[in-house]
Amino acid sequence: MTQKTGKLKFIGKQAVRMAVLLFLASVFAFALLTVSPVDPLQTNVGQTALGSMSPEQIEKLKAYWGAGVPPVKRYLSWAAAFIRGDMGISLLYRRPVAAVIAEKLANSALLLFSAWLISGALGFLMGILAGKRRGGLADRIVTGVSLVIAGTPAFWIGMVFLMIFAVQLKLFPIGLSVPIGVAADEVTLADRLYHAVLPAAALSVTGISQIALHTREKMIEVMESDYVLFARARGESETAVILRHGLRNILLPAMTLQLSSVSEIIGGSVLIEQVFSYPGLGQAAVTAGLGADVPLLLGITVITAAIVFLGNMTANILYGVVDPRIREGAMRG
């Protein structure tokens, strides 16, 4: 097999995988919405308003929200449009879904990316500190903190952060992504960053424990390995052992883990954005879900699933590129 056909085959395989994943994710999200007890008319129009409407008006509204159309038909018509590149019109925002998602994703991107980066870097460092000496003081502190964080819901951390840093210390705003009462074109980048600090911090904290505990585990394994023993026997200092052998051997699994933990950051952002009233993708997902906005929810589901899939795929590719055992092995095979 030549290199080129190998590459094509790989790309083809990944594309099929992604298609299957997106299909299943959208079906699942749609099924959940269909069985949800939320009645779009009751929720979005309200009982009183409905009572004062004529039957014709109610019929029109029913048609707008798609009530009464068989679920399979509704899904298929959405899917057919989606494949053609049309994500539909959001029923709540009354704008194209693509535009809504683009705007919300732009808002969330800063939050998601900084939280992903900070939790990765911080968790990695904590893991090294803890794993350097199993059972030491640093290990006990890091393990304890990580387990507590892992057992704490993200929204609760968000609320605690709000109470301490926004309400009591008044260091940060209590919510939203821009200051209240300022025209949209007068909002500066500094304003946006200032508003993103607290939700990003809360989101980072929730992502730390997994990477810290995994890095710790891997670091312990490395520090108790034969090759570290031999490095010590050859007079290499502890610092040299950690820098030369430790980092080299734990960086790859840590990077892989962090890339595949994108899903957790996105999942956490749904809760965190709700707590901080941060108008991002997560909040839009909650709004769409509670308001039975099928096109928007399916759009968000598919886009986030694709982001998660790309994260995992990058991890896979990275492994092949960076790890010589896989890289050279693949060359030979």
Partner 1 sequence: MNIGITDRNTDIVDRNADIANRDADIVDKSKGVENDVLKVEHLSVSFTQYGRGLRRRTLHAVEDLNLSVRAGEIVAVAGSSGSGKSLLAHAVMGILPYNANMDGTVYYDGEILTKERAKRLRGREIVLVPQSVSYLDPLMKIGPQVTKGKNDAATREKSRRVLAGYGLSEDVEEKYPFQLSGGMIRRVLIATAVMETPKLVIADEPTPGLHPEAAKRVMGHFREIADTGAGVLLITHDLELALSAADRITVLYGGRTVGEAAAADFLCEEKLEHPYMKALCRSMPKNWNWDGYKLCDSGEILEYMRKEYGR
Residues that bind partner 1 (CB under 8 A): 133, 224-227, 229-236, 240, 244-245, 248-249, 252, 323-325, 328
CB of 284 vs partner 1, minimal distance in Å: 43
Residue closer to partner 1 (CB basis): 79 or 252: 252
> In Å, what is the CA distance from 297 to each residue of 91, 217, 301?
10, 38, 6
Amino acid letter, residue 185: D
Residue closer to partner 1 (CB basis): 12 or 329: 329
For residue 213, give both structure tokens. 């505990």
Q: What are the φ/ψ torsions at residue 175 (nearest 5 degrees)?
A: 175, -175
CB of 140 vs partner 1, minimal distance in Å: 15
CB of 332 vs partner 1, minimal distance in Å: 9
Residue closer to partner 1 (CB basis): 4 or 332: 332
Residue closer to partner 1 (CB basis): 135 or 153: 135
> CB within 8 A of 263, min separation 6: which ones?
308, 311
Residue closer to partner 1 (CB basis): 70 or 235: 235
> CB within 8 A of 210, min separation 6: which ones?
123, 150, 257, 261, 264
Residue closer to partner 1 (CB basis): 62 or 244: 244
Among 114, 107, 105, which Cα is nearest to 204's?
114
Among 20, 16, 34, which Cα is nearest to 297's?
34
For residue 229, give both structure tokens. 């023993």
Amino acid letter, residue 72: V
Residue closer to partner 1 (CB basis): 181 or 333: 333
Cα–Cα distance, 60 to 65 (Å, whole number):
9
Q: How many CB atoms lie within 10 A of CB 233?
A: 8
CB of 232 vs partner 1, minimal distance in Å: 5
CB of 160 vs partner 1, minimal distance in Å: 35
Asked if 75 and 30 touch (Cβ cutoff 8 Å), the reply is yes
Cα–Cα distance, 261 to 312 (Å, whole number):
8
CB of 127 vs partner 1, minimal distance in Å: 18
CB of 322 vs partner 1, minimal distance in Å: 9
